[in-house]
Amino acid sequence: MKCLRTYQFELRGIHSLPSLKEGPHGHHCLLRVQVPGSLDEEEERDFLSFMKSDILKNFDRADWARALAKPPSGENVLQEIFRRLDAFRQNFVFSLELQETKKNLFYLRRAPKKFDA
Amino acid sequence: MKSAALKLELVRAVTFHCAHSYRVKSWSDEENLKEFGACFSPTGHGHTYRLEAFVTGPVDEVTGMMINLKDLDKILKEAVSLLDGKFLDKEVGEFLDTVPTTEKISLFLFQRLKSALSQTPARLFRLRLFETNDLWVECSEEI
């Protein structure tokens, strides 16, 4: 049985999607990060420190386009956050969830190799 | 990023309202009452259902999206419009002879959404249908 721990953060970001002819607008999102439940205190401190200094710094109260080379869609924001977390510590994050609105959310999770998102 | 080991999912929710009652026509009233209790009633009862559609697919390099939410919303709206505002076992052909349980409604919607989304880059692989906050059905298909 796999034991996982979920941390939740708030991301208040701004983005604009030219392909939708949408001007700059904001979202108050919830980001849920699922990591191994076996995290010890030092690992948790490092993780939270990284979240603050990198993820929250670049994606909370921020223009998401500045942190991305691709269009700042929910899909790309989530993939970029995953890339950064994987660079921080490989294979550490099991899944990410970005709840953009009450009726709109994105998941990114490890899956069998047959999936290729 | 090792994309082959990752699965990106988009979930979109929509709500709709309908009425239903549970009744197996070939059973006696006593048998129906015994099986379905308060759900066996000629007046029926209503629910506000919340449908959550889980889709996956490639992310378009230009738009940054798996599917335009306007297109997804249109597909979801069309699917639930078959049920929205209806008395299911009196007005919807699919449920005239089928007990309109949450299980059956979710399968009905899954097939229609899967078919409609096959015309788009996104694929439906899971659906959650909430009848109430503490009762829902999830149906999924590995893709």
Beta strands in A2-103 (DSSP E): 4-15, 25-36, 62-63, 95-101
B64 touches chain A (CB under 8 A): yes
Minimum Cα–Cα distance from B61: chain A residue: A70
B10 in Cβ contact with B69 (< 8 Å): no
pLDDT at B121 over 70: yes
B52-102 pLDDT, tens digit each: 999 999 999 999 999 999 999 999 999 999 999 999 999 999 999 999 999
B15-51 pLDDT, tens digit each: 999 999 999 999 999 999 999 999 998 889 999 999 9
Minimum Cα–Cα distance from A71: chain B residue: B64
State residue A85's pLDDT score: 96
Superfamily of domain B10-140: 6-pyruvoyl tetrahydropterin synthase/QueD (3.30.479.10)
pLDDT at A115 over 70: no
Residues in A whose CB is inside 8 Å of some CB of B read 17, 19-20, 70-76, 78-79, 82-83, 86, 102-111, 113, 115-117
Alpha helices in B2-143 (DSSP H): 29-36, 69-81, 88-91, 102-117
pLDDT at A91 over 70: yes
Which amino acid belongs to residue B40?
F
**What's the mean pLDDT in A66-86?**
94
What's the ipTM?
0.72
A25-71 pLDDT, tens digit each: 899 999 999 999 988 999 999 999 999 999 999 999 999 999 999 99
pLDDT at A89 over 50: yes
Closest listed residue to residue B80, CA positions, set B139, B142, B134, B127: B127
For testing contact with chain A, the best of B52, B55, B63 (most A CBs within 10 A): B63
State residue A109's pLDDT score: 86
CB contact under 8 A, B13 and A70: no
